[in-house]
Amino acid sequence: MTPLEGLAYGFSVALTPPNIGAALLGAVLGTLVGVLPGIGPVGAMALLLPITLQMPPETALIMLAAIYYGSMYGGSTTSILLNVPGEAASVITTIEGYQLARRGRAGAALAVAAVGSFVAGSLGVVGLMLFAPALSSFALSFGVPEFFSLALLGLVALSRVSGGRFWPGILTLSLGLAVATVGLDPISGQARFTFGLVELQGGIGLVPAVMGLYGIAEVLSVAEQAGGLPGIRTVRWRELFPSLGEWRRAAPAIIRGTAVGFFVGLIPGPSTVLSTFVSYNLERRLNRRAEFGRGAIEGVAGPESANNAATSGAMVPMLSLGIPFSPATAMLLAALLVQGVRPGPLLVKEHPEIFWGVVASMYVGNAALLILNLPLVGLWASVLRIPQAILLTGVLLLTLVGAYSVDNSLLDLLTLMGAGLAGYLFRKVGFDPAPLVLALVLGPVLENSFRQSLFMSQGSLLIFIQRPISALLLGLALLVLGAPALWGLRAAHKDREEAESV
Amino acid sequence: MRATVSIICAVVLGLDGLYIAEALKYPLGTLSRPGAGFYPLLVGILIGVAALATAAQAQRGGVDPEVAWPDRSGVLRVLAVIAAALSYIVLLPCTGQLLAAVPATAVPLRVMGTRRWWQLAGLTALFASGSYYLFAVILRVPFPAGIFGG
Q: What is the pLDDT of residues A311-346, one digit of tens each?
A: 889 888 888 888 888 888 888 888 888 888 888 888
| B40:A178 CB<8 A | yes
Cβ–Cβ < 8 Å for B25, A446: no
Handedness of CA B46, B47, B50, B53 (dihedral sign): negative
CA A327-B41-A321 angle, 5° bins: 35
The CA distance from A69 to A309, in Å, is 9
The CA distance from A75 to A70, in Å, is 9
The pLDDT, as a whole number, for residue A414 is 94
- For A53-76, write each residue's pLDDT tens digit: 888 999 998 999 898 888 888 878
Running DSSP on this structure, what letter comes out for residue B150? -
**Residue B2 in this model has a pLDDT that exceeds 50:** yes
| B31:A454 CB<8 A | yes
- For B18-66, write each residue's pLDDT tens digit: 999 999 999 999 999 999 999 999 999 999 999 999 999 888 775 555 6
Chain B residues lying within 8 Å of A455, measured CB to CB: 32-33
Residue A285's identity, in one-letter code, is: R
Average of pLDDT values for A470-485?
A: 84
Average of pLDDT values for A129-155?
A: 86
Average of pLDDT values for A139-144?
A: 84
Closest-CA distance of chain B to residue A51, Å:
7
Q: Indicate the range of A311-320, A324-333, B2-11, B134-143 predicted with least confidence.
A: B134-143
The CA distance from B129 to B98, in Å, is 7
Average of pLDDT values for A183-196?
A: 91
* Helices marked H in A103-182: 106-139, 144-161, 166-180
Taking the Cβ of residue A197 and every Cβ of chain B, the question of whether any pair is shorter than 8 Å is answered with no
The shortest CB-CB distance from B62 to any of A165, A170, A393 is to A165
Q: How many contacts does A have with B, using Cβ atoms within 8 A? A: 179
The CA distance from A268 to A320, in Å, is 14
Q: Indicate the range of A119-133, A213-227, A247-261 predicted with least confidence.
A: A213-227
The CA distance from A194 to A287, in Å, is 59
The shortest CB-CB distance from B31 to any of A168, A177, A459 is to A459
The shortest CB-CB distance from B4 to any of A54, A167, A429 is to A429
> Across all residues in chain A, what is the average pLDDT?
84
CA neighbours closer than 13 Å in the CB half-sphere of residue A173 = 29
The shortest CB-CB distance from B36 to any of A190, A224, A429 is to A190
Phi, psi for A441 (deg, rounded to 5): -80, -45
- For A337-396, write each residue's pLDDT tens digit: 888 888 888 888 888 888 888 888 888 888 888 887 777 777 776 766 778 788 888 889
The pLDDT, as a whole number, for residue A87 is 67
The pLDDT, as a whole number, for residue A229 is 47
Cβ–Cβ < 8 Å for A55, A93: no
More confident residue, B148 or A259: A259
Please, which pLDDT band fits residue A171 given cuts at 50, 70 and 90? very high
| A455:B73 CB<8 A | no
Q: Which of residues 431-450 of A touch B (CB under 8 A)?
A: 447, 450
The pLDDT, as a whole number, for residue B18 is 96
Q: Which of residues 97-126 of A touch B (CB under 8 A)?
A: none
Handedness of CA A217, A219, A224, A229 (dihedral sign): positive
Q: Which of residues 23-52 of A touch B (CB under 8 A)?
A: 51
More confident residue, A370 or A164: A370
The shortest CB-CB distance from A454 to any of B32, B89, B104 is to B32
* Nearest by Cα to B38 from B49, B27, B50, B22: B27
Q: Is residue A183 classed as helix, strand or coil in its secondary structure? A: strand
The pLDDT, as a whole number, for residue A179 is 96
- For A221-237, write each residue's pLDDT tens digit: 888 876 554 455 555 55
Average of pLDDT values for A113-119?
A: 90
Q: Is residue A192 classed as helix, strand or coil in its secondary structure? A: strand
**Residue A163 in this model has a pLDDT that exceeds 70:** no
| B47:A413 CB<8 A | no
The CA distance from B21 to A123, in Å, is 53
Please, which pLDDT band fits residue A403 given cuts at 50, 70 and 90? confident
The CA distance from A151 to A139, in Å, is 13
Chain B residues lying within 8 Å of A174, measured CB to CB: 43, 46-47, 50
User: A143 in the Ramachandran plot: left (φ > 0), alpha (ψ -120 to 50) or beta?
Assistant: beta
Q: Is residue A408 classed as helix, strand or coil in its secondary structure? A: coil
Average of pLDDT values for A254-260?
A: 94
**Residue A457 in this model has a pLDDT that exceeds 70:** yes
The pLDDT, as a whole number, for residue A461 is 92
| A410:B97 CB<8 A | no
Average of pLDDT values for A405-409?
A: 83
The pLDDT, as a whole number, for residue A82 is 72
Q: Which of residues 282-311 of A touch B (CB under 8 A)?
A: none
- For B85-112, write each residue's pLDDT tens digit: 999 999 999 888 889 999 999 999 998 8
The CA distance from B102 to A72, in Å, is 35
The CA distance from A313 to A450, in Å, is 27
Please, which pLDDT band fits residue A306 given cuts at 50, 70 and 90? very high
